[in-house]
């Protein structure tokens, strides 16, 4: 029961953080979805860091996993939004922008997660 409350609390905080970043970075004249791109990249990096701190190095108690990894980062990152934005760009005829967005998002999010793992393993 406590784990479910932690997921709910983390999810609410992550969703609020995502809303704040989106409100800060979204402009009606920019077709590239920078907010979602930044959120997914940062969330991937943080997932790598938390994986090391909680699961590999046990620097944080395992009880933090539902709160931080499932809840906070699950509420913060936006893969479903990413998918909708990519398809919307295609439907609106921004084919090159959609391709760049998808490729950069996948490459940089995987790279950010790997960087988070590598740096955390070295620092902690």
Residues belonging to the binding site for Na(+) are 74, 77
pLDDT of 10 over the 90 cut? yes
Average pLDDT for residues 10-37, to the nearest whole number?
A: 93
Cβ neighbours, 10 Å, residue 123: 11
Domain ranges of the chain: 2-25+33-123
Tokens linked to 50: 């938390």
pTM: predicted TM-score of the whole model, two decimal places: 0.84
Residue 28: both structure tokens together: 């009606």
Percent of the chain that is helix, strand, coil (3-state, to 5):
80, 0, 20
C-alpha 54/C-alpha 46 separation (Å) is 12
State the pLDDT at residue 99.
98
pLDDT for 68-122, tens place per residue? Answer: 999 999 999 988 889 989 999 999 999 999 999 999 999 999 999 999 999 999 9
pLDDT, residue 29, reads: 85
């Amino acid at each position: 029961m406590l784990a479910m409350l932690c997921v709910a609390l983390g999810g609410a905080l992550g969703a609020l953080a995502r809303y704040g970043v989106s409100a800060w970075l979204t402009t009606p004249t920019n077709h590239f979805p920078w907010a979602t791109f930044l959120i997914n990249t940062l969330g991937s990096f943080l997932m790598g860091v938390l994986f090391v701190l909680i699961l590999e190095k046990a620097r944080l108690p395992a009880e933090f996993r539902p709160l931080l990894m499932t809840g906070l980062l699950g509420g913060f990152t936006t893969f479903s939004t990413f998918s909708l934005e990519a398809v919307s760009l295609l439907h609106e005829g921004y084919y090159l922008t959609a391709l760049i967005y998808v490729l950069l998002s996948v490459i940089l999010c995987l790279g950010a997660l790997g960087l988070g793992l590598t740096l955390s393993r070295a620092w902690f």
